[in-house]
Structure 1
């Protein structure tokens, strides 16, 4: 008599990186009362979920979207269909859909949830070695600038015991130089948001230089002042001040809530607390790369338990389609109030959709970034 393997993980690690969905489908069909399986991945706009195993099939419907948005299991069809979120460290990848031949039990849900978690981790690891999953997520061709930007991103959401974090870029398929980056180490979260300079591939190349210069400094143990100064020197040495880049660098103490900030340009920060939204007042310093040997200073901001920090590029706060009032003065605040009960991963999408509506069909003149952080320390 065959004994069910303790985990699907060993099979996933032994499989080619592009065949992970098939491995999970075969495992479920062999060892569980499962008649059909589908893996659905989110597209770049986070607007739809697209099938991998049967790519010609329609995208996921309302139930799949509910599972993806809530990050909770969803059942349907008299408990014969199970939908499970695919996510790892808070980064939402997609949804696993399973059709059962028996009514779902608590034990069966637990076992299949474990398989979904193994699959999510494997998909994230495999993405650098196969194009299959990227091809599913892309619904149209990216510009070269956008290709560079997506390759630079750390992810689109991240969570831990003390925080939840998400970011989104717009437009997804034709970005220029706006960007965000983050990393968490030893209860400290480093977060940067950049306003690009120029258009197209040149803007993306500038951002690539700056992001990698800051990562190089950060990974060598440098603080955010040293990160800003190294990036500024790298940019100036190449362009002699003819090209520069605005950025906001933040290092957040996830235990005490203190933020150390270097404001080197135009990204804006706001803090929302129990419905009240206030701008973070920082003294603006010179953009990176404007002058040789630029020096920067740290400013401090204190978060309170339950605070929501939002950082937006000028493509959000300064958007002025058709000469209208800048989005940051009216529309942004209204959109942020609507996100009060949403997690950051949903809130960034709400703000981006509201920005699209503000343009009323007109093409956006600038790309846009929004990053949302909830500090959870002390709220439990």
Structure 2
């Protein structure tokens, strides 16, 4: 830490009171209020982080942990290929890149659960998933002399706060994105990654995960989603061509889609706006698209298929149907009448959307990978046993391996799982008179 950075650190520290007490906030159990060990650690970290420059986020976390008796702090961020965890560099931080599929850090990342490794000196190394909501940011690792349940809870909260700091400060630095990169990224891929929403979203009633391949070269493929009240909006795009032009077209499609969505447009109106914008901006070019809405209360899925591969309905780990029906013309042909379709999902059902690059890639021997092979991969990997985030990660890697590592075209996946009607009782947890579990709120 430079002398200037040390001065910043001193300026951001507050008075070191022995305990914080107050008159306004009351303890629900009537206990005497004071600042606990956990509150002191998390509060100090949060107070100091507000104005801390991004380069000092990692050292700040390491310093706070060291002051509380921890050591060997590592902050791992997932790479864009979802294959390795890469350590953030800085004073007080240690660690080397770890494979997600073959390391304790990777176990914590894959399972979203803490992993503990006992050391030869009797200490315990904790690997704790860093989650921003449900989005998997990386893993926080630290070593403690010994561990009890209070330590575990505090470590989990510390990992969550660290994830929030990384995500928040990513908006005005390249430090964290650069840490995640294992290879140079093309301009077209950079455009696409800048437009993507979080790759993972999970609530008690619906979960979603997506993947783009090849991560460092993707051009025209993209996806988007938004959860508004009790409706999940989702879309998958595949713009014609490759490279920067395809990426610009896909970016325009996402912008037009979001414009219609935020203004409350129905699916047909969204399609028409996108169609008109594409036709006027890129004459003679087009994009395929799948536009959908999932009612998270009833499980009804409605969609428009604009020249896109049909989505697959997965039930109990098997592909039982596809989202079939008349196909609407691709976006950009102009003046097409969109066909809206509907299907009723059951609790636990999943729907997999994908672009043609997944099934049209050539394999050894010259044939296409094909939808039948995709179905076999889904069922052979028993993906119903894993959450969508890990299912999509494993499926994308399995598909790449099954195609012999070939990625001559973009290949994207988006998986959605409906768990059943919303359980909006989380706010009532432990509150007398709260809404019973399973109650659907109108």
User: What is the TM-score when the length of structure 1 is the normalising length?
Assistant: 0.93
Q: Is the 8 A contact 1:89 1:160 kept in 2?
A: no
Partner of 2:432: none
Partner of 1:203: 246
Between the two proteins, the alignment pairs up a number of residues equal to: 375
Partner of 2:132: 88
C-alpha distance in 1 between matches for 2:155 and 2:401 = 40
Higher relative contact order (CA 8 A, sep 6+): 1
Q: Is the 8 A contact 1:233 1:294 kept in 2?
A: no
Q: Cα deviations across residues 318-354 of structure 1 (Å, max 9, x unaligned)?
A: 2233564432333211211112312111111222122
Partner of 1:372: helix, strand, or coil? strand
C-alpha distance in 1 between matches for 2:227 and 2:316 = 26
Deviation at 1:57, TM superposition (A): 4.5
* Alignment equivalent of 1:48, drawn from 84, 100, 109: 84
Q: Does 1:345 align with 2:389?
A: yes
1:1-380 aligned at under 5 Å gives the runs 2-3=18-19, 5=40, 7=43, 8-30=45-67, 32-53=68-89, 57-60=95-98, 62-77=103-118, 78=122, 80-100=124-144, 102-240=145-283, 242-277=284-319, 278-291=321-334, 293-321=335-363, 324-337=366-379, 338=381, 339-361=383-405, 363-377=406-420
Distance 1:64 1:358, change over 3 A: same
C-alpha distance in 1 between matches for 2:407 and 2:146 = 49
C-alpha distance in 1 between matches for 2:168 and 2:94 = 25
Gaps of 5+ in 1: none
Q: Cα deviations across residues 208-249 of structure 1 (Å, max 9, x unaligned)?
A: 111101111111121222211111111111123x00000000
Q: Cα deviations across residues 95-140 of structure 1 (Å, max 9, x unaligned)?
A: 000111x210111111121111111122111111110000000111
C-alpha distance in 1 between matches for 2:264 and 2:315 = 32
Greater CA radius of gyration, 1 or 2? 2
C-alpha distance in 2 between matches for 1:193 and 1:119 = 31
Partner of 2:9: none
**More deviation in 247-256 or 216-225?**
216-225
Name the Cα RMSD after superposition.
1.9
Q: Is the 8 A contact 1:268 1:317 kept in 2?
A: no
Deviation at 1:180, TM superposition (A): 0.8
User: What is the TM-score when the length of structure 2 is the normalising length?
Assistant: 0.81
C-alpha distance in 2 between matches for 1:35 and 1:354 = 37
C-alpha distance in 2 between matches for 1:376 and 1:223 = 24
Partner of 1:340: helix, strand, or coil? helix
